[in-house]
Amino acid sequence: MRVSGLRYQKGALLPAEFEVPEEAELEIVLNQRLLARLAYTPGHEAALGLGYLYNGGFFQRLSQVAWRVDPERRRFCAHVEGAAAPEVGLKSSACGGGDQFLSRGLSRLPEARLDPELPFRLIRELHRRARRYQKTRGIHAAALFDLSGELLFHFEDIGRHNALDRLAGAALLEGVKGPFLLAATGRLTLEMAAKAARMGAVLAASRTGASDRAIRLARAVGLSLAAYVRTTGYRVYSAPERFSRSSSVLTLAKSAGPKRASTSDQGR
């Protein structure tokens, strides 16, 4: 949507109009209990709701879920037999839910050999597709690819976690199964790494960094984290054995916590 404002330029404040991302709130109701309120970008509520529950470990197959979307109340309702709510209760934002149920049920990811040029291709395609970001400069993007680097799904959302949930939900609805490759904007945190692993991504690439807890989880499940992807190179924090070229090309980064990235799409 467009809003009126002022632009400060060359010592003067000038009237201007800006394209800004829309923000709304989606309620996630599980087994008639309010589970979460997510700040999100309106649209594709079914993919977001299903992906949120799947990435949270509440179900393993789409056939286990009965669901509906109430567009007027901005509510996604689902019933999963036997599903228990997380111990922390209601979650009120799209960011950082901690590890209370993120790693539940995660297993070692399948073997897959990857071309070390793939992170460059994924990030280029992600930014080429990020049309809302190009207009607003205030939204996150994520994309899912097959192992050859062919694009499967792409979403943009004000919440970087929401963008991953939408990918998981879309894959469920379309019946597409991994292993996948993932490209995302913003930090690769514990929650981002867990959701990537949950949906079957063997590689997660970002132009920004990764947290120490994300790295520990990625190493445990065999998820390759490619951070600070630039035209000149990138850092690999986990599972470098997936890359098929000489180990002299890609080596495991020794630092547990990268420096802050100076990039406009740094995550929240």
| pLDDT for position 105 | 77
Domain that holds residue 141: 118-242
Please report whether residue 221 resides in a domain: yes
The enclosing H or E element of 88 equals none
Spatial contact of 185 and 267, defined as CB atoms under 8 Å apart: yes
| pLDDT for position 90 | 47
Please report whether residue 134 resides in a domain: yes
| pLDDT for position 266 | 31
Please report whether residue 195 resides in a domain: yes
Tell me the pLDDT tens digit for each residue of 184-239: 998 999 999 999 999 999 999 999 999 999 999 999 999 999 999 999 999 999 99
Q: Is the pLDDT of residue 245 over 70?
A: no
Please report whether residue 24 resides in a domain: no
% the chain with pLDDT above 90: 64
| pLDDT for position 3 | 86
Q: Is the pLDDT of residue 247 over 80?
A: no
Long-range contacts: 258-265, Cβ < 8 Å, 24+? 258/209, 258/210, 258/227, 258/228, 259/209, 260/209, 261/207, 261/208, 261/209, 261/228, 263/207, 263/208, 264/137, 265/133, 265/140, 265/185, 265/186, 265/207, 265/208
pTM (2 d.p.): 0.83
Q: Is the pLDDT of residue 87 over 60?
A: no
Please report whether residue 172 resides in a domain: yes
Q: Which has more pLDDT, 259 or 252?
A: 252
Domain with 204 in it: what CATH number?
A: 3.40.140.10
Indicate the number of domains in the chain. 1
Nearest to 90 by CA among 15, 168, 36: 36
Mean pLDDT taken over the chain: 84
Please report whether residue 20 resides in a domain: no
Confidence tier at 96 by pLDDT (50, 70, 90): very low
Please report whether residue 256 resides in a domain: no
Please report whether residue 33 resides in a domain: no
